[in-house]
Amino acid sequence: MPTSGYDEGELRRSALALGSNIGDSQAILEAAIETLAQTPGILLEARSNWYQTKAIGPPQPDYLNGCATLQVKILPQQLLEILLGVEQQFGRVRQERWGPRILDLDLLLYDDIILDTPNLQIPHPRMRDRAFVLVPLAEIAPDWVEPVSGCVIKELLKEVDCSGVHLWMGN
């Protein structure tokens, strides 16, 4: 679906996943949320707790993961560019697929649109399979309808194995 009809300046709801497993992950994630909250055109609506999760891919430390919902006045492509810029600001270097990372920001949902472009897919194509995304997202947006499946987040959560996702209690 094209983004026509989504005017810049009109508030739209968006959901993000955040993750880190290099450095002081909790401090990095908190600072990334704060950076986004101070970005023009972005209003922080809600944020989840942090969850410790097993990494997917090559051997590496566990992740801290969480989600946030935003009210945005920017189009999906612009939001993606902001997220990539914040990752870069925190020192993210893209090397190995599913490798360790200082900060990972994924755009999960943008209102109820379905978008498929070479560099952006909404909803995020793997979010329905990932407990580390669905657990924190269900905490803050349980009734948000994922537009491809037509299911609410709390129902999608029932379809995944959540055994590797644990509430982070801090240091």
Is residue 161 among the annotated active site residues?
Answer: no
Which position among 106, 111, 126, 130 bears the catalytic label?
Answer: 106
Which position among 12, 104, 128, 130 bears the catalytic label?
Answer: 104
Is residue 104 among the annotated active site residues?
Answer: yes
Could you tell me which residues come within 8 angstroms of residue 146 by beta carbon, excluding any fewer than 6 positions away?
Answer: 109, 123, 127, 128, 152, 153, 156
Tokens matching residue 129: 């399979």
Which position among 12, 47, 101, 128 bears the catalytic label?
Answer: 101
Query: Residue 64 and residue 34: Cα distance in Å, rounded?
Result: 17
- The one-letter code for the residue type at 115 is L
Is residue 101 among the annotated active site residues?
Answer: yes
Is residue 24 among the annotated active site residues?
Answer: no
Q: Which residue has the tokens 């943008």?
A: 110
Tokens matching residue 2: 């094209």
Which position among 12, 47, 92, 130 bears the catalytic label?
Answer: 92
Q: Are 9 and 101 in contact (CB under 8 A)?
A: no
> What is the number of alpha carbons within 13 Å of residue 68 lying toward its C-beta?
22
Q: Which residues are catalytic?
A: 92, 101, 104, 106
